[in-house]
Amino acid sequence: MKLRKVTAASATALVIALTATACGGDSDSGDSGSGGGDKIKIGIKYDQPGLGLKEPDGSFSGFDVDVATYVAKELGYKPDQIEWVETKSADRENALARGDVKMIAATYSITDERKQKVDFAGPYLLAHQDLLVKADSDIKEGTDLNGKKLCSVTGSTSAQNVKDKIAPKAQLQQLGGYSECIAGLQSDQLDALTTDDAILAGFAAQDQYKGQFKLTGLKLSNENYGIGVKKGDTATVNKINDALEKMVSDGAWDKAVKDNFGPANYKNEPAPKIGQIVQ
């Protein structure tokens, strides 16, 4: 067999090609959505027990985390290939537009206004605005809040929503965070806390709060939680929807609900149908 002579120029070209190939396979953006050695960046909340929480040891827990981990697995990513990125509510649309994250699972309600800026997969959970009260409270419905102290976080419209619709004489108290409202409930400085029932259940399910609080089942609004992706990324939306349907069918969705909300006796809605938005 006659061997072909390799010139210095061709050898140099071969080295350059191999180097470029190696560099190209080391991306950590997760934009390909195919796994296979890449990383994927997923936006979550860091401060919502039961949904998205950064634990003291640096790990992450919560229903949103479990859903996102399952979806990532179906997209080809192992848990150690996920980079969790704290994504605050006010920055979610910008984080997707900038490409900071591939997707966001962070109690992200699907609304017409948001759909102008991002695309959504799901919904994967139907939540409702509710009330959290002490376990021995006689507050059973919204009208019982007249003359009572109702807490929500600064900037939220939840407490005002209750006052406008069902309890005009409620005394609104806005604090910096849900933990402050919970502390007020414990000490009887406040009578109720209002926001999405999933968020309330997440707090009530924590070890230090077990048995102390209950949800009233107010259902003042419908919050369809979806997974946000960059506007126009239809391929990723379709892959996530397929993953969510599989998560429901194989029982992993029900397990995630029980694991994260069970101790709060959260009466969750059945898993919503993909693309079915409850108004």
CA gap 79, 82 in Å, rounded? 5
CA gap 27, 30 in Å, rounded? 7
What order of strands is seen across the sheet that includes strand 52-54? 47-48, 52-54, 60-61
One pLDDT digit (tens) per residue for the chain, 279 residues: 433 444 444 444 433 343 333 333 333 444 444 444 599 999 999 999 999 999 999 999 999 999 999 999 999 999 999 999 999 888 999 999 999 999 999 999 999 999 999 999 999 999 999 999 999 999 988 899 999 999 998 878 888 889 899 999 999 999 988 889 999 999 999 999 999 999 999 999 999 998 999 999 999 999 999 999 999 999 999 999 999 999 999 999 999 999 999 888 788 999 999 999 999
CA gap 148, 162 in Å, rounded? 12
How far, in Å, are 63, 125, 224, 250, 258 from residue 271 at the CA level? 13, 6, 11, 12, 13
CA gap 157, 174 in Å, rounded? 10
Angle at 71 between CA 67 and CA 76, to 5 degrees: 150
| Segment (H or E) for 278 | none
Q: What is the pTM of this model?
A: 0.81
Size of the chain in residues: 279
Do domains 40-127+224-264 and 128-215 share one topology? The answer is yes
Name the superfamily (CATH) of residues 128-215. Periplasmic binding protein-like II (3.40.190.10)
CATH of 40-127+224-264, one of 3.40.50.620, 1.10.3720.10, 3.40.190.10, 3.40.50.970: 3.40.190.10
Q: Please name which of 35, 166, 164 lies closest in space to residue 102, comparing C-alpha atoms.
A: 35
- The domain limits of the chain are 40-127+224-264, 128-215
Q: Which two tokens stand for residue 238?
A: 């379709």
Contact at 8 Å (CB) between 131 and 139? yes
